[in-house]
Each structure stands twice: as structure tokens, then as C-alpha cells.
Amino acid sequence: MMHYSNWLIGVKNRASVRNACRTPPNNRASVVDARNNNPQPNGKRCELTVATHLWKKGYKTIKKIGEGTFSEVLKTQSLKDGKFYACKTMKQTINSLEQANNLREVQAMKRLSPHANIIQLHELIFDKEMGTVSLICELMEMNIYEFIQGRQTPLPDHTVKHYMYQLCKSLEHMHSCGIFHRDVKPENILIKQNVLKLGDFGSCRSVYSKPPHTEYISTRWYRAPECLLTDGHYCLKMDIWSTGCVFFEIMSLNPLFPGVNELDQVAKIHDVLGTPDQSLLQKFKQSRAMHFNFPPKKGTGISRLVPNCPAPALSLLYQMLAYDPSERITAETALRHTYFREIRLAEKKADTLHRVSVAIDGVESSGTHSCMQHIWRPTKLGKQLRGRHTRQTPLMSHNMKHAAEPLIRRNVPHYPTELPKLNMVLPRPQIPLTVSTMPAFTATHRGTLPVITSKKCQSQLAKPRDESHRTAFKNFYMPPLDRKHGGY
């Protein structure tokens, strides 16, 4: 118990130090400017100056829609296209445009864009005189906190499932890009027409950065145990813990661990999940200079807090809220959980239909193009030949007549053009012609060629015929030839 008291004293001391260090960078800059007899203007004057600068850049300020410790958000309208945007103006003083582009939030938004569940950066505006940076982003309707605030009845299960699936997709995209958010909470999750997007990347870090990280990070209610019990030794799994807390809050409309301070936060976690094993606590102790010892406690469990929660949702919730970060589920694995099976099947079906439609459109366009080539090529050839000859062939006239017909009245084949039908002329009454057999002849050549003599070929099986039969006449019938335009 003595170790626990010492740990509590250490927590209070660190909290007081953090409260003293919460002064925004712009306040520290104001102190420096005041020493140089160049004090910063007041808040109203700053707002007017920012509004004037935005007007010069083509944006009209509508109203303020939010304010935080390090920034404020304004609703603006573009003077070019009339569209509405969210303008996030940093309170931090920036010295150059290069420094503005190197801000962690700006770099993260550029790397993560475009994605269906990530807030998109439209434009960056830098005011050199004031040293302020404004981020013009897409405007959403509200955040999750505003959406569930004041509700008396829980949300439908399909709505909760739809929102959580999109949140997991945003985290999976972030983590695959080498970034973790570090401040996932309902206020930073925005929605518009059933579309969820993750925003506010001012606290994000690279997954390849080595710990220890900043201890005082994330909002307390959504802070993971490794953030509370270690000296900044945490990783991207802290985003999954925060997502589990948001998951519970969307289902129950109440926060899961509403601690009033860091010690109470740990106590509330243990009340629900129970005190972890000593082996796990030993891992946390290795990264903290101060020792702590928690009394053993058996948690009440999450199922009692949400008795109507479906079994797949409860399973995913427990995997997200695993005390040990190494056993906590990843965003990629969460997307394959049974809880999201219906959404995955619907997405797969829609994707298959889209691919089939694209393939059909491609085949139709390519087939029509090839058929058009087969149709129009003989016509062009006929035009060239008409310049050389004084008449048309039947094939050319047939193709020209076929090409003149509209495409909608006939089925265009996807194979090479069929041969035209030939106009057969029926034979007229047959006229007998007498043809005699030609006698054998010999020819003498002046060269070295041998003399060609006629030889009689006769099958061995055939019987010899008499001489009178060989001298008989044979009748042959040949159809008359029609003359067209002076030719055959």
C-alpha cells in the first residue's frame, strides 16, 4: 500500500507539472513579443484580421463552429464556387510558409489523402504578417459527441455497426501509412450523411518513432493503460483502445471510463476489467521510474453495462479493450471480425457488380469501335477506288448500302463483317455444245527439253473400251454470260 501511495504522489506531481506546461505556444510567443515591446493583439482583433486575410484569399467567414486549446474552427464559404468549408486556424505563430508545410498535421493530411474516411485538406493559407496558418478542409455536419448528446434511446445496431466499420477503416489506412492518431475520441470523429471521417491530426506521430513518447497525450477517458502506467512507452495499439471506448459510448450513450484524474482513470478501468496479472504489471514497471502496486480486484465486466449488446459486438469490444497491448486486436483484423460480416458481403457484392459493369462497358465500347471500323473501312476504300475505276463492284455497293443503315436498326456483330450474299443468276435453257477430243500431238523443242508425248492413262480395274467409243462425241452445257456495262 505504501508503494501505491507513493505512486499517487508521483501522479499528482506530474499532473501539476503538466498543467504548468499546458500554455499554448502562442502564449509563450506573446510573452516574448511583450518583452520586445511588441504585444500581440487581443482575440477579437485577431479574429477580424484572420477574417480579412481569408477574404483576400477568396473565403468569406460565416461563423465560429469550434475552438480548442491550439486552434479554432470557422465555417467559411468560397467566393469562387460558393461551396462551404471548415477553416481551422492555428493559434501557434508560424514564421514561414515552409514551416507551415512542415507541420505534423499538414504532413499527415497530405499523406493520408485521399481516403473516404479521412478529412481532406483543400488548401493551406499562410498569413505572413500575423504568422497564422489556416487549413481549409471539407465541412462535415457534426461530430459523434454532438450526435449522441441528449439522446434518450440507443442507436440502431446497423447504424453503430456502419460507423464503427468506417472508423476501423480509417485507422487501418492510417496505420498502414505509418501514422497513429493518439487522440481518437468522439469530438474528433465527424459524420455527414452516414459517412464517418476521422479528423484533427495535430497529435499524430509516426509508428517508426522510438519511445518514450509524450506522456500527456489523448483525452483522459480514452487513454490506454500503457499511456497511464508507463513513461511514454506506447504504440499504435493505443488507437484501438480509444476506438473500443468510442464503440461502447456509441452503443450505450455513456462514457466507459469517465475518470476525474489519472488515478481515478486507472481505478475505473480495474473496476470493469479487473486488476491485470503481476506479469503484465511487471512489464509496465520496467518503463516507469516509480513503483506501483494495485490491490487485486475482479472486474464487473462489460456485458453488465450493455445487457442488450449482440454477442459479436461484445466479442469485438473485449478484443479492442485488451489490457495488454500485445494481445489487443489490430485495425486490419478488426475489419475481418464476424461483427462486420454483413457489411463485407455487401461491399464484395457491390464491387463485383461494379467490375462486371465496367467490363461490359469496355467490351461494348471496344466491340462497337471495331465494328464501326469494319463498316466504314470498305466505304472509304470504295471512295478511293471510285477515283480510279469507272464502275463499282457488287461488294462495294452492298457494303455502302449496309453502312448507310442506322446502327440501332440492326445488330452489330462483335466478329468480322460477314460476306455479302451473292445474287445468283438462274441458268437459262441449256444449249448443247459439241466438243471433240483433242488428238495427241508432238512438239519439237530447240533446247535440251525432252519431247513431250501424250500418253493414255487407264485404270487397271477398268475394262478396255472399243475404238468406236473413244471417237464418240460428248455433250457439255454451259450457262450464258450476262454482259454488264460492256464487260463480263
Per-residue pLDDT tens over the stretch 122-156: 999 999 888 899 999 999 999 999 999 989 899 99
Distance (Å, whole) CA 342 – CA 349: 11
Going by pLDDT thresholds of 50, 70 and 90, the confidence category of residue 200 is very high
Going by pLDDT thresholds of 50, 70 and 90, the confidence category of residue 376 is very low
Q: How would DSSP label each residue in 171-231?
A: HHHHHHTTEE-S---GGGEEEETTEEEE---TT-EETTSPSP--SS-S-GGG--HHHHHSS
Mean pLDDT across 323-343: 96
Going by pLDDT thresholds of 50, 70 and 90, the confidence category of residue 476 is low
Distance (Å, whole) CA 368 – CA 407: 10
pLDDT in tens, 411-425: 544 544 454 554 555
Domain boundaries, the chain: 55-139, 142-347
Residue 213 predicted with pLDDT over 70: yes
Q: Which residues are identified as catalytic?
A: 183
Question: What is the pLDDT at residue 453?
Answer: 58
Going by pLDDT thresholds of 50, 70 and 90, the confidence category of residue 233 is confident
Question: What is the pLDDT at residue 427?
Answer: 54
Q: Which residues contact 173 (CB under 8 A, 6 or more apart)?
A: 112, 115, 117, 118
Average of per-residue pLDDT values in the chain: 77
| Cell numbers given for 379 | 466505304
Q: Check: pTM over 0.85? Answer yes or no.
A: no
Going by pLDDT thresholds of 50, 70 and 90, the confidence category of residue 448 is low
Question: What is the pLDDT at residue 301?
Answer: 93
Mean pLDDT across 195-201: 95
Distance (Å, whole) CA 446 – CA 105: 102
Question: What is the pLDDT at residue 85?
Answer: 96
The residue that leads in pLDDT, 103 or 476, is 103
* Residue 88 assigned ligand-binding role: yes
Mean pLDDT across 294-313: 91
Residue 361 predicted with pLDDT over 50: yes
Q: Which CATH superfamily is domain 55-139 in?
A: Phosphorylase Kinase; domain 1 (3.30.200.20)
Strand partners, 452: 443
Mean pLDDT across 72-81: 93
* Of residues 295, 283, 292, the one with CA closest to residue 325: 283
Q: What's the number of CA atoms in the CB half-sphere (13 Å) around residue 256? A: 30
* Of residues 149, 157, 163, the one with CA closest to residue 309: 157
Q: What percent of the chain has pLDDT over 70?
A: 62
* Of residues 305, 302, 309, 338, the one with CA closest to residue 323: 302
Going by pLDDT thresholds of 50, 70 and 90, the confidence category of residue 1 is very low
Q: Which residues contact 43 (CB under 8 A, 6 or more apart)?
A: none
* Of residues 194, 193, 182, 289, the one with CA closest to residue 241: 182
Q: 3-class DSSP state for residue 73?
A: strand
Residue 375 predicted with pLDDT over 50: no
Going by pLDDT thresholds of 50, 70 and 90, the confidence category of residue 24 is very low
Question: What is the pLDDT at residue 403?
Answer: 43
Residue type at 267 in one-letter notation: A
CB 348 within 8 A of CB 356: no
Residue 292 predicted with pLDDT over 50: yes
Going by pLDDT thresholds of 50, 70 and 90, the confidence category of residue 287 is low
Distance (Å, whole) CA 395 – CA 359: 35
Question: What is the pLDDT at residue 428?
Answer: 58
Residue 29 predicted with pLDDT over 50: no
CB 297 within 8 A of CB 13: no
Residue 106 predicted with pLDDT over 50: yes
Rg (alpha carbons) of the chain, rounded to whole number = 43
Distance (Å, whole) CA 184 – CA 339: 21
The residue that leads in pLDDT, 48 or 22, is 48
Residue 440 predicted with pLDDT over 70: no
Question: May I ask the CATH class of domain 142-347?
Answer: mainly alpha
Q: 3-class DSSP state for residue 447?
A: coil
Question: What is the pLDDT at residue 458?
Answer: 54
Question: What is the pLDDT at residue 50?
Answer: 81
How far from chain centre, in Å, is Cα 400? 49
Question: What is the pLDDT at residue 156?
Answer: 94
* Of residues 210, 181, 178, the one with CA closest to residue 198: 181
